[in-house]
Amino acid sequence: MNELQKILIADGVGAPPSHVLEAMDDELVHRSVPGAPHSIYEEVWHLAFWLELSLDWIAGRLTPYPEHASEGFPSTRTEPWKKLRERFLYGLETAAALAGDPAKLSLPIVCPSRAPSEPRSMPALEQVEGIAAHNAYHLGRIVLLRQLLESWPPPSGGDTW
């Protein structure tokens, strides 16, 4: 497993995403934290949304870039927590498989941009690196929310410093 794969699905920069998202029920993931703009559920929905969008672009599907930032967060509880968690982790496995395939990583892809900007071209590697960076940011927010909700560390472990 290379370092990019570790960052995506293992312990490359912190606890593996599967650990960060384990042992939480519907009540906990939807609980608001004073001062926090989003719940854990909303953060994971956002991660899954952008992960799937990025994987579409890598696969050659020019899924449009959202017109507004609000489109990247759910307006309601759109799916059960367990299903959302599994959907996100499945997408990460797909991204990690790409991260382990040098031939696919070198392929040029087109990524739509926010209007009025033109689409961008880049190697698939750069889009996968973007997925990893975006996930690290939001998974860190989820860890903080779990700490504030006194639900950290998870049973499989996670840094407590």
Give pLDDT, residue 74: 85
Residue holding tokens 């950290």? 152
pLDDT in single tens digits along all 161 residues of the chain: 999 999 999 998 889 999 999 999 999 999 999 999 999 999 999 999 999 999 999 999 999 999 888 888 887 777 999 999 999 999 999 999 999 999 999 999 999 998 889 999 999 999 999 999 999 999 999 999 999 999 999 999 887 76
Give pLDDT, residue 5: 98
Q: How many CA atoms lie within 13 A of 30 on its CB side?
A: 13
CA 59 to each of CA 11, 30, 98, 128: distance values in angstroms, whole numbers, following the listed order = 26, 32, 10, 12
Give pLDDT, residue 30: 96
Give pLDDT, residue 157: 84
Residues in CB range of 142: below 8 A, 6 or more apart: 20, 21, 40, 43, 44
DSSP code string of 97-112: HHHT-HHHHTSEEEE-
**Triad 138, 142, 79: Cα angle to 5°:** 90
Give pLDDT, residue 36: 97
For residues 147 and 20, what is the distance between their CA atoms, to the nearest angstrom? 11
Pick the CATH number of 3-148 from 2.40.50.140, 1.20.120.450, 3.40.50.970, 2.30.30.90: 1.20.120.450
Residue 65 near residue 118 (C-beta atoms within 8 A): no
Listed by start position, the domains of the chain span 3-148
For residues 4 and 132, what is the distance between their CA atoms, to the nearest angstrom? 8
Give pLDDT, residue 66: 92
Coil vs helix vs strand at 122:
strand
Give pLDDT, residue 78: 77
Give pLDDT, residue 146: 97
Give pLDDT, residue 161: 65
For residues 93 and 5, what is the distance between their CA atoms, to the nearest angstrom? 9
